[in-house]
Chain A
C-alpha cells in the first residue's frame, strides 16, 4: 500500500503543489489524469524516490520513504519499483537485451527478459539496436525493462505520450496484462484509456482524492 500524506512539493521557481492524501492499494491499477503541470509526474517521481517531497510523507508498505537516505531509496527503486518513462530512457546505441541487462549492474536477475519480450511481441527484436525500433517497440522495451525484476509497484509516466492512440492503446492493454497483480500507477492525459484501469484519479481535483470507477471496468467520464 502506498500512502501519500500531506505532501507538498516546492520547486526552485517557488511554485508548489499540495497533494491531498491519497492511498494506492496493493495489486490495483490506477490512472492519474490531469492537465500538464498539475503534478502527476512529480507524484510518480516522489513515489519512486527520484524526487523528495518538501513536506509530508510517502509511506510504502508501512515504511516512510521520506525518512530514508537517497541510497536506500535507490535500492528500493531498483528492487521494488518498475518505472516506465514517457521518453523511454533507453540507450539508443545498445541492443534491446543490453538495455534490459543494464539492471544486472545492480544485481537484478534479468532471466525473465526473453519471456517478457515474447509476451510484448518484440522477441525478434531482442538483438536490434534501440535506435532502429519504432516508438511503440521502444515503449515495449521500456515496459520489459521495468517488469523484468518482477517489481511490486509499476509506475508509468505518460507511457503512451509518444505514440498514436491505436499503438498507445495496445501498449496500455499489454502493460495492464503483464502488470496484473501488481500495483500499477500510470499517468496519462488520454481519458479514452481509463477503461483499462481499476481506478482513475483526477489530479486536477487534488482535493477530490480517488475517483472510484464503475465495477464494469470503465470510467464514468460523464
Chain B
C-alpha cells in the first residue's frame, strides 16, 4: 500500500509540490511567527533579570534601561560615582556594578565597568578584566573578528563615533568574549578607571574626586527589595561640587514589561495577520487537495472497475495525503528552525539569542492542525466518493 502510495504520488509531482509548498509556507510562517515572538519576549525579559535595579540620571526610564542592558541609545547623562558607597551601605543591596558608556572604537561602543559585569560571559581567548589594573580591554566577539584583534593588540578609542580624535593612550586587549549573539558581541569593555583617566578624571583620587558614571547596576539580596529601592532612590543627590543631581532608580523588569506591553499591540496585529495568512493557506491547501482528488476521480473509478474496494482506495489516498501532510509539516518545522538561525543576527541587538531547539507546545498544535487540515479534505472527498460510488446497488 505504502509503495503504491509513493508511486501514485510520483506521477503527480507538480500537484504534490504545490501542496507541499502551500503547507510549508502556511505552517512555516505560523510556527516561525509564534516562536520568534515568544522567544524575543522571553529573551528580553531574561535580560532584565540580571539586575534588580538600575540607578542613573533622571529622564527616560526606557533609555536608561536600554542603554545599560543592551548598550543601545545614548546615555541619559552621568551621576556621581560616589553614590556607589551609599548603595553599598544599604543592607538590602548585594552588589553594585559601575557602568559608563563613552567613546567608541571603530564604531563599537566602549563601556567602562568592573569585571563583575562580565562574570557570566565566556571568553574565547585571554583573561577577564582585572579591576586593579587599567588600560585593559575585553572585547566582544564581533569587535575582535572585524578588527583583526587578538590578545595583546592595542586599540585607540575616540571621543566620537568614527571620529579622528583618538586618545593617544592605547588600551591593551587582554581577552576576547565568546560569541553570544547578543549586544556583548559588539562592545569594548574596559575598567571604569580607564575611562576616567582618559577623560582626565583621576582614578587615583579619593572620594572627593570628580568621577562619574552613566549608571549603577544594583543586585538586591531579595527580589522584593527592588521595588523599595526603586521608590527610595528616585531622588536628588548632591555631587562633589555641591550641584544637585536628580537621579532615578528603575526596575529593568518593569521597563521591559512596559515595552512588551506597548509591543503587545504590534504583536497582536502580527498574530492577526498570521492568522489571516494561515486561514488563506488552509483554504488553498483544501482547494488544491480537493482539485487533486477531483483529478483522481478517473483513477478511482478505474480502480473500482478492476475490483479494488472503496475501502482500500480510501486508505490509499488517506495514506498518500498523510505522507504529504507529514513531510510538509516536518519540512515547515525544519525551515522555521533554519529561519531562526538567520533571524538571530537581527534580534541579537535586543540581547536575545533565539534557541533553535526551543519548541513551544502551541507550535506543535499549529503543526498538528496543519497536518489534519492536509488530510481532512481527502478523507471528506473519499467519503463523498464512496457515497456516490459509481459501482453500487
- Minimal Cβ-Cβ distance residue in A for B390: A50
User: B270-287 interface mask toward A, CB cutoff 8 Å, 1 = contact, 0 = none?
Assistant: 000000000000000000
Judge if B263 is at the interface, Cβ distance under 8 Å: no
Pick out which of these stretches binds chain A: B41-49, B304-312, B331-339. Answer: B304-312
Judge if B316 is at the interface, Cβ distance under 8 Å: yes
By a CB distance below 8 angstroms, the chain A residues around B313 are 105
In the complex, the answer to whether B305 meets A89 with C-beta atoms within 8 Å is: yes
In the complex, the answer to whether B306 meets A83 with C-beta atoms within 8 Å is: yes
Judge if B362 is at the interface, Cβ distance under 8 Å: no
> In the complex, which of the residues A49, A81, A83, A106 contacts B308, with contact meaning CB atoms closer than 8 Å?
A106
* A89, B303: Cα distance in complex, Å: 9
In the complex, the answer to whether B305 meets A50 with C-beta atoms within 8 Å is: yes
Beta-carbon contacts under 8 Å, B1-22 to A: 1, 4, 7-8, 11-12
* A89, B300: Cα distance in complex, Å: 11
- Minimal Cβ-Cβ distance residue in A for B315: A105
By a CB distance below 8 angstroms, the chain A residues around B303 are 102, 105
* A90, B316: Cα distance in complex, Å: 17
Judge if B302 is at the interface, Cβ distance under 8 Å: yes
> In the complex, which of the residues A70, A75, A78, A102 contacts B393, with contact meaning CB atoms closer than 8 Å?
A70
B304 to chain A, nearest CB (A): 8
Beta-carbon contacts under 8 Å, A46-96 to B: 49-50, 52, 69-71, 74-75, 77-78, 81, 83, 85, 89-91, 93-94
In the complex, the answer to whether B4 meets A52 with C-beta atoms within 8 Å is: no
Q: How large is the interface on B (under 10, 10 to 19, 20 to 34, 35 or more residues)?
A: 20 to 34
Judge if A101 is at the interface, Cβ distance under 8 Å: yes
- Minimal Cβ-Cβ distance residue in B for A68: B393
Judge if A192 is at the interface, Cβ distance under 8 Å: no
B9 to chain A, nearest CB (A): 11
B313 to chain A, nearest CB (A): 8
By a CB distance below 8 angstroms, the chain A residues around B309 are 71, 74-75, 78, 106
In the complex, the answer to whether B302 meets A70 with C-beta atoms within 8 Å is: no
Q: How large is the interface on A (under 10, 10 to 19, 20 to 34, 35 or more residues)?
A: 20 to 34
A102 and B11 in contact, given A91-B299, A91-B302 (Cβ under 8 angstroms): no
A192 to chain B, nearest CB (A): 28
By a CB distance below 8 angstroms, the chain B residues around A74 are 304, 307-309, 391
In the complex, the answer to whether B391 meets A105 with C-beta atoms within 8 Å is: no
B70 to chain A, nearest CB (A): 58
Judge if A145 is at the interface, Cβ distance under 8 Å: yes
B324 to chain A, nearest CB (A): 17
Beta-carbon contacts under 8 Å, A80-123 to B: 81, 83, 85, 89-91, 93-94, 98, 101-106
In the complex, the answer to whether B4 meets A101 with C-beta atoms within 8 Å is: yes
- Minimal Cβ-Cβ distance residue in A for B305: A89
A167 to chain B, nearest CB (A): 23
By a CB distance below 8 angstroms, the chain A residues around B1 are 105
User: B88-106 interface mask toward A, CB cutoff 8 Å, 1 = contact, 0 = none?
Assistant: 0000000000000000000
In the complex, the answer to whether B393 meets A105 with C-beta atoms within 8 Å is: no
- Minimal Cβ-Cβ distance residue in B for A81: B307
In the complex, the answer to whether B305 meets A91 with C-beta atoms within 8 Å is: no
Judge if B392 is at the interface, Cβ distance under 8 Å: yes
In the complex, the answer to whether B307 meets A98 with C-beta atoms within 8 Å is: no
B5 to chain A, nearest CB (A): 10
Which 6 residue pairs across A and B have the least CB separation, nearest first?
A: A78-B307, A93-B11, A77-B307, A74-B309, A89-B302, A105-B312
A residues in contact (CB < 8 Å) with B: 49-50, 52, 69-71, 74-75, 77-78, 81, 83, 85, 89-91, 93-94, 98, 101-106, 145
Task: Pick 5 A–B contacts, CB within 8 A, sort by A.
Answer: A74-B391, A81-B307, A89-B302, A105-B312, A106-B307
B residues in contact (CB < 8 Å) with A: 1, 4, 7-8, 11-12, 299, 302-309, 312-313, 316, 389, 391-393
